[in-house]
Structure 1
Amino acid sequence: MLDKTLPYFNVIMKRRAGLPIETWALPPNFSLKWFVPGDEVRWATIETSVGEFSTQEEALKYLRQTYLPDGDELSRRCLLVSAANGDAVGTITSWWNMTEKRRDPAIHWLAVRPEFQGLGLGKALVSECLKRLTRLEGDRDIFLHTQTWSHRAIAIYIKAGFGIVKRGSFGNYPNDYDEAMPVLRTVLPSLMS
């Protein structure tokens, strides 16, 4: 769940090529599956549940405009976690962003429904996403854009080998490092020392 009690600042993170990828397994009764046509509502439900979108319709519109034009890519890059009853409860996307003419591998849209957070699903999703990005894009630097509201996810990313980028960015995202770090130090003191 996004922590909207904090001020919002953009955070850019980078994981350097060559780092080993830690494997975090899913807990029992959960399984991973790749996106298939028809999963649009599942994705939108998850993203809306964490506050990334105000409505499911807004999330669906974003997904359709941003990812469905590359539907074949979405089927091999968007991962869902399912609970034992078949409900999709988490997602992550192994995508890319263009930085001028350079294609940068990037993590997009990590989210776990609030009632399933704290079980290790986010870590397992990040681990699988990194493996997929390395398979599809090669062993290269991997980027992500996040925000101070997502400090719980930032903690996972740091454990997965990402560092916060002080200067510069990728894919035209703003980098609010100077403003974000004081906020992050209050909520992640052991990771920001």
Structure 2
Amino acid sequence: MIDKTIPYVKFQMERSASQALPDRQLPEGYQFSFYTPGDEKDWQAIETSVGEFDNLSEAQKYFEKNFAPYPNELAKRMIFVTDPSGKKVATCTAWWAKEGGPQFHWLAVMPEAQRKGIATFLAVKVTALLEELYPDQPAMLHTQTWNYPAIAIYQKLGYTFVPGTKDFEKGMGILEDIAKREG
């Protein structure tokens, strides 16, 4: 879940394609699947549940502008995790940046499904997919201080901060304070 109680600072992170990825499995009864038409409602619900959007209407507008124009790409790039009851509870996308390079995009796990290893599974799966789609290119992602739990996952997979973003040093200080607080 996004923690909007701390100051917001945006970061870019990057990972070399030459690093090995750990093997991660979903909890028993959970399954992953790629996007199929109609899953946009699930994407909107998942992203809104973690605070990325204030309401489903905002999420719908974002999806329609940034993802809907590429239905064939979505079917190869957007991943969901379904819980044992059949409800989609998590998502992440192997997208591309405006510059055309690999982009790890929009990792989210509904609050009721968090702390089960689903985020790490998705991070590994999408990173591997980026390496398959873009051999020998580093994967990148954008994140922010509000997502500090996800940053820890990214770092364990070999993603490192790219200095130079606005307020980079301030953001690093915020992350250091959080790390000290959480011990």
Distance change (3 Å), C-alpha of 1:139 and 1:175: farther
> Which has the higher mean CA deviation after the structures are superposed, 33-42 or 21-30?
21-30
Give the RMSD, CA atoms, in angstroms. Answer: 1.3
Partner of 2:89: 89
Shift of 1:189: 4.3
> Which has the higher mean CA deviation after the structures are superposed, 22-31 or 105-114?
22-31
Shift of 1:175: 4.3
Please list the CA deviations of residues 85-115 of structure 1 after superposition, one character each: whole Å capped at 9, or x if unmatched.
110000000001023xxx2101110000011
Partner of 1:178: 169
Structure 1 stretches lacking a partner, 5+ long: 168-173
- After TM superposition, list the pairs within 5 Å mapping 1:71-90 onto structure 2: 71-90=71-90
* Number of aligned positions between the proteins: 181
Within the alignment, does 1:42 sit opposite 2:42 as a pair? yes
Shift of 1:17: 2.3
Sequence identity percentage: 39
- After TM superposition, list the pairs within 5 Å mapping 1:4-43 onto structure 2: 4-43=4-43
Structure 2 stretches lacking a partner, 5+ long: none
Partner of 1:171: none
Q: Counterpart amino acid of 2:113?
A: F
TM normalised by structure 2 equals: 0.95
Contact 2:44–2:60 (CA<8 Å) still a contact in 1?
yes
Contact 1:151–1:188 (CA<8 Å) still a contact in 2?
no
Shift of 1:133: 0.9
Shift of 1:23: 1.8
- After TM superposition, list the pairs within 5 Å mapping 1:146-165 onto structure 2: 146-165=143-162
SS in 2 for 1:12: strand
SS in 2 for 1:134: helix
Please list the CA deviations of residues 156-191 of structure 1 after superposition, one character each: whole Å capped at 9, or x if unmatched.
000111011112xxxxxx54311200000012349x
Within the alignment, does 1:187 sit opposite 2:178 as a pair? yes
Contact 2:102–2:137 (CA<8 Å) still a contact in 1?
yes
Partner of 1:170: none
Please list the CA deviations of residues 91-145 of structure 1 after superposition, one character each: whole Å capped at 9, or x if unmatched.
000001023xxx2101110000011111000000011101111111113101000
SS in 2 for 1:69: coil
Misfit runs of 4+, over 4 Å: none
Distance change (3 Å), C-alpha of 1:189 and 1:96: farther
Contact 1:10–1:180 (CA<8 Å) still a contact in 2?
yes
Partner of 2:67: 67
